[in-house]
Structure 1
Amino acid sequence: MGSPATEKGREADEAQHAVEIRYSFAVSKTPVTWDQWDECVRARACDGASVEAALGLDRDGKPTGNLGDHPRGNHPVVGVSWLDARDFIRWLNDRTGAGTYRLLSESEFEYAARADSTTVYWWGDEPSHDYANYGKDAAEGLGGKIEGRDQWENSTSPGCSFPANPFGLCDMHGNVYQWVEDCYEPDGARLPADGSAVENGDCSVRGFRSNSFESSEVTLRSANRAYVYAPDTRGRSYLGFRVAKTLR
């Protein structure tokens, strides 16, 4: 994982290194949606009111200020903290009796996003609005952009509005950033070689991967490590999560 020194937009924390995942795991086809999140809220296992208040929404889900659009339904839930994601997973495990749902590790996320590719994006080396919901070019700054299949200028798109990658996964690039399990490790080359999450070090912040509807092609890359936030950070209209489970 990581990126070659010649890759445009490459950051210093993306040194290429070998990771060997010797177990099978499943990944949700899309990020968790508002519909799925609302089930957890109705079960009183997730704090929907606090998440929506942090996003600038009232109890009816209507904007209380000029904070952009937050479509619901089968769009990815946004504004949730890492702790909120853990609450959802706890509820999902209790509901299904599986006990094995979890967040992806950083290494697992990149593996799943690449889908056996070695190119900048799973579909090739050039960014394309026909494959992902992302924003303006890097030189134009932050903000949405309508082009090609991407018809969502300043909002999320419904899950699987773009082609799935060869692993059958949608929105591994673009739409929303997605929380991962890992505690912060500033040197990507020091991520566990077995694909597991970093469970020690600076756990006052947690990482996330992918890219969002308002971010540029630079952060759309498979190797991009995004940013880190405190685990209780809410209100980010570009940040959601998806679930995974170890199979064997």
Structure 2
Amino acid sequence: MENKIDNIKDAPAPWTLEGQVAYLFIHGSRAAQDSFNENPDPVLSPFRGGLGGLMLVRYTDSPVGPYDELIFLPGCYQFGDKTYYRISQIYVSSLDSVINGRRNWNVPKKLATFRWNDNNTHVKISLPDQTEPFCTIRVQPRLYCLPIGTGLVPEVFRTLLQPPLEETEDKNAYFKIVPSCSGWFRPIVRLLEFQTDGKEIPSHEQIPLYTYGVGYEAFTLLFPKAELTLH
């Protein structure tokens, strides 16, 4: 592992990523979802619940090359007098993405293997040392795509505040990020299958995902340099 980390490409923010597909499904809040959080801070930044999301993404290009991604956002967290969304669990298919994501934005990326079929509508995701998937997702894109950017989405709904990770030297270093995206927006994506083992992300019983979500195709994502935010 040490030799692999020594060969990691250094890719500081900002990042511009080109994507093939992205699917987003909203879920309701349950207390169990906050337990899927690598480094919780219930005193400084307690979990407040609300709507969260699950995202599945395929990137065709990034500063560290192509990779796949599964993102879990439990809901909102309090910080000072405001609430923010947070990525609490995220799995990617690239070790370069893992290391740089943790360095750049306090995003708790972990490595996983993604096995796709059926034209990017069915994926099985497993840990690197396992063959059985911890998550299986099957979707069905519906209707036509429209050219839309996230400029139409209020900034409050796309602002992330990431707490320091275990390896972060400054334990007060909360990072705020406001991503933006443009591309072909698909207004309806049906969730046909969602199965998990309940260990890496909440199980399908614990996370009440809505059956219909939205998607993007042939999109460009800008993930800016993080803004240091102090309490």
Q: Name the TM-score, length of structure 2 as normaliser.
A: 0.25
Higher relative contact order (CA 8 A, sep 6+): 1
More helix by share: 1
Q: Which has a greater percent of strand?
A: 2
